[in-house]
């Protein structure tokens, strides 16, 4: 599967954040009915703690940019943003005891705690939690920490309540990604994590629904964990059809996400939403994503990811009708303060589509492809973050002159083409590790407009290419 969402909120989603491949154990075939009967006779019912697991994995990789960027950065990347140098992406440890997804008629409860150390943590922090703890590319993060309960009420299968911090259920690359590098949609078009309450239910064998109320995208609670004072909402559904060969996942995220600590002068003065030209507690952000996955054969899988994102703030226009640039030029000529002229936001938009294909040759080798078009209509979303805390500073609304963006008010259309392999060799028994995954890939990116956003050896380019590969080693402690 290219896009797999847990059939219920209680299934093991330990890989459901950055598209890390599921461990071999999670792919093991289910026991037959006769096996279950014999096991039930031979064994007593397991205790609550028997379902507790402690697992993890380590991931490292590197990208080899053929253009040898002068600043060692891959434009349009987050988790694979460092060019021509190795990265320790993640070391993840997960302790969980989740309710039994098969016992839908019984009350059950559980929890999950998932922590990480690695360079990926720069882009996965909950605000206000360990986001400035390590002054290094390698950082600490709490990926998930929640309590969950299954209540056998209202519907035939009951419903699940999750309280705490957990990953979103949006996008095609959240679970079992087939590539090391991520799409523009994953990096810039969807939220990652949330703090709040989620209610979900399997209303039928083919229909799963969920709804959440949260503090915001990657926000925790209170200052400095929440960059404004407004709540956000997320909801979605998953439909299965044609004997589960077709899966349709649709999710929407709505709520104010703009920070309040906006600072046009870089002097640290709080609560000046000048650049946003909006009330950060009222300007809504929208992230909408639909993923269709078609398992054409036992070996061939096709998936389409459709994305639209918008923020009602930013892209300001003076009440005079002049653009920001024109107004500033007049201010320089005639000597008045352009900031005294009232402004209104026009909003910013991003949208695109990514098409995936994978063909499983055997249990070891799988061929993968991805073609993506994504439009950053006002050059607001796609950026590069050379500093250790640049991305976090932007989320908080702090002055971040080292962050790199394309010229405001213009748009850039991106084309990304990726081809690669997923290699999962069989691991001898008796080892402390439970699997091994290698994901080599070739990737080509280009600007379809006149922009030249990609970094080269001596300047900027309209296209770029790279070879990338990572290695993932999962393990189980209990």
> For 142-179, how does the pLDDT look when each residue is reduced to its tens digit (9 = 90+)?
999 999 999 999 988 899 999 999 998 899 998 778 99
Reduced to 3 states (helix: H, G, I; strand: E, B; else coil), residue 164 is strand
The dihedral built from the CA positions of residue 18, 23, 27 and 32, taken in this order, carries a sign that is negative
On whether the CB atoms of residues 65 and 84 are closer than 8 A, the answer is yes
Instruction: Read off the pLDDT band of 189 (50, 70, 90).
Output: very high
Query: What torsion, rounded to 10 degrees, do the Cα atoms 257, 260, 262, 268 define?
Result: -140
Tell me the average pLDDT of the chain.
87
Number of domains in the chain: 1
Does residue 343 have a cis bond before it (omega within 30 degrees)? no
Strand partners, 189: none
Residue 18 has what pLDDT? Answer: 54
| pLDDT for the residue numbered 34 | 47
Domain span including residue 122: 50-312+347-476
| Spatial separation of the C-alpha atoms in residues 287 and 252, rounded to whole Å | 6
Residues of the chain above pLDDT 90, percent: 67
**Can you read off the two tokens belonging to residue 426?**
């069989």
Least confident of 108-112, 278-282, 303-307, 358-362: 278-282
Is 40 contained in some domain? no
Minimal CA–CA distance to 139: which of 117, 154, 159, 161?
Answer: 117
Reported as type and span, the H/E element at residue 289 is strand 284-295
CB proximity list for 54: less than 8 A, separation 6 or greater: 93, 94, 95, 476, 477, 478
The span from the CA of 176 to the CA of 23, in Å, is: 9
DSSP-derived secondary structure letter, 46: P
What is the C-alpha to C-alpha distance for residues 132 and 354, in angstroms, rounded to an integer? 34
What gap in Å lies between CA 237 and CA 271, rounded to an integer?
37
Q: Is residue 183 part of a domain?
A: yes
Q: Are 63 and 86 in contact (CB under 8 A)?
A: no
The answer to whether residue 99 scores a pLDDT higher than 80 is: yes
For tokens 């990657």, name the residue.
Answer: 218
Q: What is the dihedral of CA 253, 255, 261, 263, to 10 degrees?
A: 80
- At CA 257, angle to CA 253 and CA 261, rounded to 5? 175
Has residue 28 been placed in a domain?
no
SS3 content of the chain, % helix, strand, coil (to 5): 10, 45, 45
Pair of tokens at residue 50: 């028997």
Return the closest-CA partner of residue 121 out of 103, 105, 134, 108.
Answer: 134
DSSP assignment of 419-434, as one string?
A: EEEEE-PPPPTTSSB-
Question: What does the pLDDT look like over 22-68, one tens digit per residue?
Answer: 544 444 444 444 444 444 444 556 788 888 999 999 999 999 999 99
| Predicted pLDDT of residue 24 | 43
The answer to whether residue 130 scores a pLDDT higher than 60 is: yes
Give strand pairing partners of 236.
Answer: 210, 251
- Is residue 275 scored above 80 in pLDDT? no
Q: Which of 105, 106, 116 is nearest to 156 (CA)?
A: 105
Q: Mention every residue, 6+ apart, whose C-beta is less than 8 A from residue 167.
A: 13, 16, 17, 143, 144, 174, 192, 193, 194
Q: 339 vs 377, which has greater pLDDT?
A: 377
Whether 37 maps to a domain, the answer reads no
In a domain, 342, yes or no: no
Identify the CATH number of the domain in which residue 116 sits. 2.40.160.10
8-state DSSP, 277: T
| Token pair recorded at residue 443 | 């990737």
String of b and e for 215-225 (b: at least 16 CB within 10 Å)? bbbbbbeeeeb
Q: Which of 251-265, 395-409, 442-456 tops mean pLDDT? A: 442-456
pLDDT in tens, 335-352: 887 777 888 888 999 999
The DSSP code sequence of 238-276 is: EEEETTTTEEEEEEEEEEE---S---SSSS---S--TTT
Q: What pLDDT score does 261 carry?
A: 60
């Amino acid at each position: 599967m290219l896009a797999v969402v847990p059939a219920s909120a209680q299934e093991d989603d330990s890989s459901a954040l950055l598209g890390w491949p599921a461990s071999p154990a999670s792919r093991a075939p289910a026991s037959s009915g006769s096996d279950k009967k014999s096991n039930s006779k031979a064994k007593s019912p397991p205790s609550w703690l028997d379902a507790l697991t402690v697992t993890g994995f380590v991931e490292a990789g590197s990208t080899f940019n053929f253009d040898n960027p002068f600043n060692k950065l891959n434009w349009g990347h987050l988790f694979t943003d460092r060019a021509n140098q190795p990265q320790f992406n993640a070391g993840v440890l997960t302790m969980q005891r989740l309710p039994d997804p098969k016992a839908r008629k019984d009350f059950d409860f559980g929890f999950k705690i998932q922590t990480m150390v690695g360079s990926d943590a720069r882009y996965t922090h909950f605000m206000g939690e360990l986001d400035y703890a390590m002054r290094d590319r390698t950082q600490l993060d709490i990926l998930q920490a929640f309590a969950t309960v299954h209540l056998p009420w209202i519907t035939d299968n009951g419903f699940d309540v999750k309280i705490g911090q957990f990953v979103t259920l949006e996008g095609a690359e959240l679970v079992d990604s087939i590539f090391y590098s991520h799409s523009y949609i994953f990096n810039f078009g969807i939220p990652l994590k949330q703090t709040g309450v989620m209610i979900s239910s399997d209303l039928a064998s083919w229909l799963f629904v969920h709804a959440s109320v949260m503090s915001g995208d990657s926000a925790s609670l209170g200052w400095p964990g929440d960059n404004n004072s407004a709540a956000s909402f997320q909801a979605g559904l998953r439909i299965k059809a044609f004997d589960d060969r077709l899966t349709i996942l649709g999710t929407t995220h709505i709520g104010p996400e703009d920070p309040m600590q906006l600072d046009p002068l870089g002097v640290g003065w709080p609560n000046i939403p000048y650049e946003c030209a909006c009330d950060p507690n009222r300007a809504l952000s929208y992230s909408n994503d639909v993923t269709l996955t078609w398992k054409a054969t036992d070996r061939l899988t096709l998936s389409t990811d459709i994305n639209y994102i918008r923020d009602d703030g930013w892209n300001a226009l003076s009440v005079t009708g002049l653009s920001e640039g024109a107004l500033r030029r007049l201010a320089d000529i005639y000597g008045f303060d352009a900031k005294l002229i009232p402004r209104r936001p026009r909003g910013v938009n991003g949208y695109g589509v990514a098409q995936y294909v994978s063909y499983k040759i055997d249990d070891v080798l799988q061929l993968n492809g991805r073609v993506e078009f994504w439009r950053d209509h006002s050059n607001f979303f796609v950026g590069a973050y050379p500093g250790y805390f640049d991305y976090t500073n932007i989320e908080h609304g702090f002055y971040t002159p080292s962050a790199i963006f394309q010229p405001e008010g213009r748009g850039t259309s991106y084309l990304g083409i990726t081809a690669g392999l997923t290699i999962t060799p069989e691991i001898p028994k008796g080892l402390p590790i439970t699997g091994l995954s290698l994901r080599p890939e070739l990737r080509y990116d280009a600007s379809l407009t006149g922009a030249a956003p990609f970094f080269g050896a001596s300047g900027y380019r309209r296209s770029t290419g790279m070879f990338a590969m990572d290695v993932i080693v999962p393990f189980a402690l209990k």
